[in-house]
Structure 1
Amino acid sequence: MIYLGADHRGYDLKEKVKRWLRNKGWEYTDLGNEKLDAEDDYPDFAVKVAKKIKKGDFGILFCGSGVGMDVTANRFKNVRCGLGFTPQQIRIAKRDDNINCLSLPTDYTTEEEARPMIEMMLETNFSETEKYVRRLAKIDKIK
């Protein structure tokens, strides 16, 4: 399952991505915001998405800089959220760091730029190389 969350600055891109995901046949759940609300707060939606992510699930977060959502999501155990800038960067983030959540900086990302980053996260496999497994295990031990 792909879980989506956006604040007011990410709302428009989230709505466009939903249509694209539907056309691609990818199953998703929209956790808000359900309407454009200039007074909403990004942590509310990052928390909703992060709480849903289990093994095999993905999250996609949308906010102006992407940073607030990224920071919030990474507070949760078993969430490895990456801030997306390019498809190549996201491919490596998935391959080496096994990200399961993507935070898109909507002030700097168009729908056409978002699509290949999302595809990279969803379609790239974690390498399971020993050094990356070891590094992720070290992160998991941080309290």
Structure 2
Amino acid sequence: MQISIGNDHAGTSYKHAIVQHLKDNGHDVNNHGTDKEDSVDYPDFIHPVAKDVENQSAQFGIIVCGSGNGANMTANKHQGIRSALCWNNEIVALARQHNNANILSIPARFVSLQQAIKFVDIFLDTPFDGGRHQRRVEKIACS
């Protein structure tokens, strides 16, 4: 599976570990994140992830910043993007099952690296339930 990832300075160490985990599990990764811990502007690294998912050059995106909020807000400015800020396993699963989320936003300062990697696995392994949720997801987009 093709996964796009982006991060700011607060998510650099998590991004490195997540990329390795994804590659170890046979995924291909578009890395748009910074590789340094020097302060950067997160939108510069999040917009490319959202564009990859938007234009289908990646099936899913993973974004990491300190709170996850700014990255999540940035990604959700793009048409067809349903980015979900997740902080526990159940929220991750529900974001996929009920909302058909296509980008996972991880708050690096509020979850452990072990939790973040588990979130990635849950996100990629959980299918969208469809059914009544499909109608709701269709109502998210503005025309």
User: What's the TM-score, normalizing by structure 2?
Assistant: 0.92
Task: Provide runs of 4+ in structure 1 moved above 2 Å.
Answer: none
* In the alignment, structure 1 residue 20 sits paired with structure 2 residue 26: no
Shift of 1:32: 2.0
> 2:11, 2:66 within 8 Å by CA — same for their partners in 1?
yes
Counterpart position of 2:62:
60
- Percent of matched pairs sharing the same residue: 31
Q: Give the gaps of 5 or more residues in structure 2.
A: none
Q: How does 1:1-143 map to 2 (within 5 A)?
A: 1-33=2-34, 35-54=35-54, 55=56, 57-129=59-131, 131-140=132-141, 142-143=142-143
> 2:32, 2:46 within 8 Å by CA — same for their partners in 1?
no
Q: How large is the Cα RMSD of the aligned pairs?
A: 1.3
Tell me the distance in 2 between the aligned counterparts of 1:136 and 1:94.
11
Counterpart amino acid of 2:51? K
Shift of 1:8: 0.4
User: What's the TM-score, normalizing by structure 1?
Assistant: 0.92
Tell me the distance in 1 between the aligned counterparts of 2:136 and 2:93.
18
Tell me the distance in 1 between the aligned counterparts of 2:33 and 2:91.
27
Shift of 1:94: 0.2
Shift of 1:133: 1.1
Q: Give the gaps of 5 or more residues in structure 1.
A: none
